Amino acid sequence: MMKSFYLITCLLCLLAMPLWAQPPGADTTVVLSSGVEERFKLVLEDRFEGPKLDSKKWKVTEGVPRDPEMKFQQHYFKPENVEVSDGTLKLWVHRDTMLQKEFKIWIDVGMKPFVADFEYSSAEVESLEKFGYGMYEIRCKLPQGKGYWPAFWMYGEPQGRNNELDVFEFWNEGAFLRGFAPKRLSRVQHMTAHFDGGMSKGSQRGVDASEGFHTYTLIWDDCKILWFFDGELRRSLYRYKGVRDRDPDCSRAASRRNPKMNVFPIDEGLRILAGVAVQSGKDAPDEDTEFPQAMEVDYIRFYERVD
């Protein structure tokens, strides 16, 4: 796989026009349509070129870390489903029957035991280090089929409040009044910000992300969050309502009396996660869903902004 791959983007967008002036893996500069240059310094990079996962950067999820009642997803994370080979990280999903499987999950103030049956095992990795404002990026290829729920996201719980940014999530899509729509699988990128129970969500339909590798980028600072797909802007979210790229640092909006704010995560340390969930109930895999499949990751990077 070409590790020297890079993309120079100069696409006209309504809200931003990013230009990555350096190849991935180097410090880089992004130029917004407002003319503002934002410089970033590479802090974390994993190209997954070794024989196994780097335990100094990542920990492997095991068990059921969330949704113990299986309302939305139903799978068991297994460490053996994480593979590093041929220059990529592979997060495998298997049809894997496990009866009366015991697990524990943190609820409120302590660990509580559960017992459940599982039909699928999956994989997820989480960064050991926490990160804040900056630029997050992944290049990956997704699994495809009913029930697969791949995601690349950042999460933390400062003072017990959920604090989350979803660079992408893909799940089953439906057609109006027609139910499940197979032709929409792996085509709709969901991009969401969460804080303290609130949520700001957006989505955009595009190419089938399971047919090849694509680059997903998120830029986050105290004013804005920008989501990119292969260098093209897909979504913008500003801290203050009514702000556009003509006020790139939000200074004018912040100076207003009682400015209205959007749901916006806080800069108090988020861990990076990449993995695949399996949907439950009516969204669960069917007889046409192929197993095993993997979310295959070429690289993951984090950059800090340089003032």
- Tens digit of each residue's pLDDT (9 = 90 or more) over 155-212: 998 878 899 999 999 999 875 555 678 888 999 999 999 999 999 999 999 999 999 9
Stretch 292-301: mean pLDDT, rounded?
A: 98
Please give the single-letter amino acid code of residue 144. Answer: Q
Residue 153's nearest CA partner among 82, 68, 243, 61 is 61
Tell me which H or E stretch contains 38.
strand 37-46
How does residue 238 score in pLDDT terms, banded at 50, 70 and 90? very high
How does residue 13 score in pLDDT terms, banded at 50, 70 and 90? very low
**What pLDDT, on a 0 to 100 scale, did the predictor assign at position 33?**
53
For residues 278 and 150, what is the distance between their CA atoms, to the nearest angstrom? 8
Q: How much of the chain, in percent, has pLDDT values that exceed 70?
A: 86
Q: Say which residue the tokens 């993997």 belong to.
A: 294
Q: How many CB atoms lie within 10 A of CB 180?
A: 14
pLDDT of 3 > 50? The answer is no
Strands 58-60 and 124-131: antiparallel
How does residue 270 score in pLDDT terms, banded at 50, 70 and 90? very high
**What pLDDT, on a 0 to 100 scale, did the predictor assign at position 108?**
73
For residues 34 and 17, what is the distance between their CA atoms, to the nearest angstrom? 8
Q: At 252, give phi and psi (nearest 5°).
A: -70, -40
Please give the single-letter amino acid code of residue 87. Answer: G
CB 102 within 8 A of CB 273: no
Stretch 96-106: mean pLDDT, rounded?
A: 92
pLDDT of 24 > 70? The answer is no
Q: How many CB atoms lie within 10 A of CB 239?
A: 19
Tell me which H or E stretch contains 253.
helix 251-254
CATH number of 43-306: 2.60.120.200
Residue 134's nearest CA partner among 42, 239, 23, 57 is 42
Q: How far is CA 4 from the centre of its chain?
A: 23
CB 117 within 8 A of CB 100: yes
For residues 186 and 171, what is the distance between their CA atoms, to the nearest angstrom? 7
pTM confidence score: 0.89
Q: At 81, give phi and psi (nearest 5°).
A: -85, -5
Stretch 117-133: mean pLDDT, rounded?
A: 98
Q: Which two tokens stand for residue 6?
A: 């890079």
Please give the single-letter amino acid code of residue 259. Answer: P
Mean pLDDT of the chain: 87
How does residue 67 score in pLDDT terms, banded at 50, 70 and 90? confident
Tell me which H or E stretch contains 100.
strand 88-107
For residues 275 and 142, what is the distance between their CA atoms, to the nearest angstrom? 10
If one compares 256 and 49, the residue with the highest pLDDT of the two is 49
pLDDT tens for residues 178-189? 567 888 899 999
**What pLDDT, on a 0 to 100 scale, did the predictor assign at position 25?**
53
Q: Which two tokens stand for residue 117?
A: 């049956």
Q: Is 108 left (phi over 0), alpha (psi -120 to 50) or beta?
A: left
If one compares 184 and 119, the residue with the highest pLDDT of the two is 119
Q: Which residues contact 256 (CB under 8 A, 6 or more apart)?
A: 240
How does residue 307 score in pLDDT terms, banded at 50, 70 and 90? confident
Q: Which residues contact 109 (CB under 8 A, 6 or more apart)?
A: none
Q: At 17, give phi and psi (nearest 5°).
A: -135, 90
pLDDT of 23 > 80? The answer is no
